Structure formats: structure tokens, C-alpha cells
Amino acid sequence: MDEEKAWALWPEYFDISLTRAQGRKVRKELAVPSPTTEMISKACQSLGLEHTVEADKAYPGRWYERKGRVMVEKNMPKTLLLLKVGERLVRYQRS
């Protein structure tokens, strides 16, 4: 997927153990412990979003941890995408 036509979703965006300064992008109510690219991919799939998983990538602020990222088609603002994916991750965590 072309980087210019996709949003990058890093697991760090949804990690409840991180602060905003460390990379978390969603409020704590939408964050989960130890999110993975597989969990984010499942959330994107359930939302009907075209996406690809890039497992060999590292979040720039935590370059020493290669957790990967999920590239999602740009068909909505990133803030809305983060909100929807966060809601799905919390729902999966509870079930």
C-alpha cells in the first residue's frame, strides 16, 4: 500500500501503559495493554477497511522495538480512524 495514500497505525498509539508524550494517541478509555498489529488488523477488518500489516517496522520514538505497523486506506480523518479502532480494541479486550 502506498504510504502517501494510507494512514500508519502503530501499536504504540493504543498502548495504555504509554503516556501521550511516549506515543499514545487515544485517550485511556480507548487504550489497551500490549496491543499488537494483529489486534489492530482485526479491528480494521471488522470496520471494513482496506489495510496491510508491515511487521518489520519500528515506531520512530521507540526505534529499538520492532512491533510493526498497520497501513490503512485514507478514507476518513485519522482522528476518527483512531477513535473507531480504539473502540474495537477495547471491545475485543472485554470479550
Q: What pLDDT digit, counting tens, does each position of 32-41 carry?
A: 999 999 999 9
CATH number of the structural domain spanning residue 15: 3.30.56.30
Give the pTM.
Answer: 0.93
Number of domains present in the structure of the chain: 1
Q: How far apart are the first and last CA of the chain?
A: 31
Q: pLDDT at position 94, please? A: 81
Ranges in the chain, pLDDT < 70: none
Three-state DSSP class for 71?
strand
CA distances from 66 to 29, 48, 69, 70 (A): 25, 26, 9, 13
